[in-house]
Structure 1
Amino acid sequence: MGYVADRWHKTRPAPGDPECGEHKGLVASKAHGKGKRWQARYDDPNGREITSLHRTKTEAEKEITKQEAAKDSGAWIDPKAGQVTVAKYALDTWLPAQGIIDRSVTEYRGAIERYLIPEWGNRQIRSIKPSEAGAWQKLLVSKYKLSGAYPNRVARYVRSIFRLAVIDRVIPVSPFAGIKAPTLVEKATQPPDVAQVRQLIAAAYHDRWKAMIEFNALTGLRSGEIRGLRLDRIDFLRRTMLVDQQLVYEKSKGMYFDELKTGAGLRTLPLSKRAVDLLAAYVQKYPPRESGPGEGLVFVMADGRLIGESTLDYALKSTCKKAKTTARHWHELRHHYASVLIAGGENPKVVQKRLGHKDVMTTLRTYSHLFAEAEEQTRDVLDAAWAEPGETGSVEESPQQGGRIPESRRLQGALRQVSG
């Protein structure tokens, strides 16, 4: 149990010490008349003594009772812990606790230093109010001009800082509790269909780009993953591919091979026969280099140099121009792969696993409209299967033959076409 100490008077006066002129029967200490008189003292859960000053003895006693009750209930928080500044806690405690790779550390730190520290960096973390938390989120758009998904991403980082502070018992509750995060704005993806991908393959001006476009459409790899793909990651017999690294670029380091950003990115993909045959034919014609920076890689430049992200994007842009199709980004081939899986009836968890998304919510947010289309397709299939002869929707005219074919067969044919 804690106890209350009188700072203004000695607890063990020496013989002959004069009596305090203001308080009868007591001997004044050196602190007499300076600051608050009563000091509450108690041990924290780890046995370390905690003190606080109060104006009256009653206030000090109430503080001890409050803290002892908090210890008994497991809700105790060190009153002094919340004095740490937002910047210090974010950079020295929160950031090292994230367990992320170096490139992500740079990204997280950059966001904190650009958007949080200028506003709250020198403030004690316990001083931030909910009203200020809501106002800060609005600054991301009004002051810092962030748009799209970025306000939500930066807010997630900062909300995570205060959430960890609650878990660490630095503050009792996050100022963001009850404050809605910025709306996550994500554009609905409209990936190219199989016919459009075939156009791109036909228009590509080098075997390298033809193979990369088709293989990416069949596997959904990220740009860094396909550029960093090594032949020894392909199991041609089992028709699988291990995705465990990517080729990345940093201004200070240039291009280098790095681990994937999340554990979910590490995955083994099943390969279609088409993908295996494509790769086998390509490596037979262009065997991987046995030395140099592109050693063991499936795809490199003609002189063995690594393929940069900008080089790949330019190749696709030029291909789109030659094919006279809509300009596409490389990532849209990944979206194409996802759209084929969804159209084929794969459930969201399988799509998540194939794409290497961290959680299924990311998959659902990105492709929600495609899942909705797949749901409508399911309804059509069921309606067609259960329709009575002559009912609308049970069959449709075959324009080629002038006859009528079951709706379910038409849909099955469409799916076979989508799957290549």
Structure 2
Amino acid sequence: MGYVHDLWYKKGPAGRKVQTKYHGKGKRWQARWETPDGEPKTRLFEKQVDAQKHVTKMDHAVLAGDYLDPEAGKVKVGDFALKTWLPAQDIKGRTEIEYRGVLDRYLIPEWGRRQIRTIKPSEAKAWQALLASKYELTGTTPNRVARHVRSVFRLAVFDKAIRASPFEGIKAPTLTETKVYPPDVAEARQIIAAAYTALWRAMFEVCALTGLRSGELRGMRLEKFDALRMAYRVDQQLVYERGKGMYLDDLKTGAGKRVLPLNRRAVDVIAAYVAGHPPPKNGPWAGLIFAMPGGKPIGESTIDWAIKQTCRYAKTEARHLHELRHHYASVLIAGGESPSVVQQRLGHKDVLTTLRIYSHLFNEAKETTRNVLDAAWAIPSKDEKRLASVTKIT
């Protein structure tokens, strides 16, 4: 338990008070206590009663598990974001670059040199408004940027650097999802046919038939491909980490790990490509289905460039690889698959993510259902005609 120490006097012979070397210099009363980790802490006060109140407050906070280190909140926002929050996200490659970019562009220029405890709710609300007014962000970007920054302060609360986040009670920017308009089957076929190597042709078609993410597609392994059961086990992806290069890493989320059913065309495309281009048998890339000449893995920028070049050859709209993933989703939706099934096939973390991205496609599918019903019931049956004539007579 903490206690109060008199800096001006100490006990002398026969219990008499003796002046110390600090007598008359600065504040007299020193509050002493220990943090939950056993680290000694002190603070000076002019009055004994104020020092005792502070010790009581600190002891109560330690016992209640609500202790807040007065020094922790003095850390600079930029230092906490880069040295504590970013490493805690356990992200690598392109995602780490994206998160670091958010901090460098939108957080650090505004608050980087401020103590984290000094940010007020009014400033947090004003900062969110700047995302649209000053930085001119649109679509889903304001919500995504704000989500990362709000997470920085949420972690500061968990670490007991601050008692409450300045964003507490402040609504995040509205998530306005940009509608996706993926290539239809005809356009997807056109892109695949225009691919200028067997590698790109196979990869683009597999992506359109499976909806795999770029890292999942580029990290496909032969051992996870089951031609007999027509399935592929998705539990790894190819990632890039600065200073380490490319390597295969396990998927982080349970939703991302999935057994993906393959149609006959996908099985045939993969099997034919493997037969003509056997994967490496040894080394770190053993079993990698899609690789560059020499067995090296394919970088994300390489395949992005390849599909853009292919779209030019095909004379179609410029597309990104991710749009072939959207194409896969659109085919499932048009075929009547439920949102939960689409979520599972794509490896989304929850069905709300699926609905947010593809809500307009589900609505279009509903309208198609109505049109089918209208067409089927457009010509009255003989019983309906008889019923209508009876109704008129009545």
Question: TM over 0.5: same fold?
Answer: yes
- Compute the displacement of 1:180 (Å): 2.5
Q: Distance in 2 between matches of 1:150 and 1:198?
A: 32
- Residue 271 of structure 1 corresponds to 262
Contact 2:235 2:251 in 1 (8 A): no
Are 1:155 and 1:181, in contact at CA under 8 Å, matched by a contact in 2? yes
- Indicate yes or no: 2:171 matched with 1:180: yes
Tell me if the contact between 1:293 and 1:304 (Cα under 8 Å) persists in the aligned partners.
no
Is the CA contact (8 Å cut-off) linking 2:179 and 2:357 kept in structure 1? yes
Report the alpha carbon displacement of residue 12 of structure 1 after superposing the two structures with TM: 0.9
Give, in whole Å, the separation in 1 of the partners of 2:156 and 2:377. Answer: 62
Aligned 8 A contact 2:76 2:114 in 1: yes
Which residue does the alignment assign to 1:395?
A: 377
Q: Quick one: structure 1 residues 213 and 122, their matched pair in 2 at CA, closer, same or farther if it must change by over 3 Å? A: closer
Q: Is the 8 A contact 1:245 1:257 kept in 2?
A: no
Give the counterpart of 1:239 among 225, 230, 234.
230
Which of 65, 72, 75 lines up with 1:74 in the alignment?
65
1:298–1:99 CA distance, 2 compared to 1 (3 A): closer
Tell me how far apart the structure 1 counterparts of residues 357 and 296 of structure 2 sit (CA, whole Å).
34
Question: 1:342 and 2:326 equivalent?
Answer: no
- Alignment TM-score, normalising by the size of structure 1: 0.75
Distance 2:64 2:240 in 1: 51
Deviates more, 1:286-295 or 1:238-247: 286-295
Matches within 5 A, 1:46-61: 46-61=37-52
CA contact (8 A) 1:216 1:226 kept: yes
1:327 aligns with 2:333: no
Q: CA deviation digits over 1:326-380, x for unaligned, max 9?
A: 3322211100111222333433343233223344443232222223334555666
Q: Which residue of 1 aligns with 2:11?
A: 12
The answer as to whether partners of 1:293 and 1:306 remain within 8 angstroms in 2 is no
Q: Does 1:258 align with 2:248?
A: yes
| Distance in 2, Cα, partners of 1:262 & 1:175 | 30
1:226 equivalent in alignment to 2:217: yes
Q: Give the Å deviation of 1:129.
A: 1.5
Could you report, residue by residue, the CA deviation over 1:89-123 in whole angstroms, capped at 9, with x for unpaired residues? 33333233223336544443443344333433333
Contact 1:76 1:169 in 2 (8 A): yes
1:281 corresponds, among 251, 272, 286, to 272
2:290 maps to 1:299: yes
Query: Normalising by structure 2, what TM-score?
Result: 0.80
Question: Are the structure 2 counterparts of residues 50 and 306 from structure 1 closer, same or farther at C-alpha, using a change threshold of 3 Å?
Answer: closer
- How many aligned residue pairs are there? 380
| 1:99 corresponds to | 90
User: Larger deviation: 276-285 or 123-132?
Assistant: 276-285
* Structure 1, gaps ≥5 residues long: 18-25, 385-391, 398-402, 405-420
Superposition CA RMSD, Å: 3.6
- Kindly indicate whether structure 1 or structure 2 has the higher relative contact order, using CA contacts under 8 Å at least 6 residues apart: 2
Structure 2 gap segments, 5+ residues each: 382-394
Matches within 5 A, 1:350-369: 350-369=341-360
Match of 2:160 among 162, 169, 172: 169
What is the match of residue 137 of structure 1?
Answer: 128
Q: 1:258-279: per-residue Cα shift (whole Å, max 9, x none)? A: 3256334343211112211232
Displacement after TM superposition at 1:178 (Å): 1.7
Deviations 1:264-320 (A, max 9, x none): 434321111221123223333444455799764433457766545455344434544
Do the aligned partners of 2:256 and 2:349 also contact (CA within 8 Å) in 1?
yes
Distance 1:70 1:257 in 2: 46
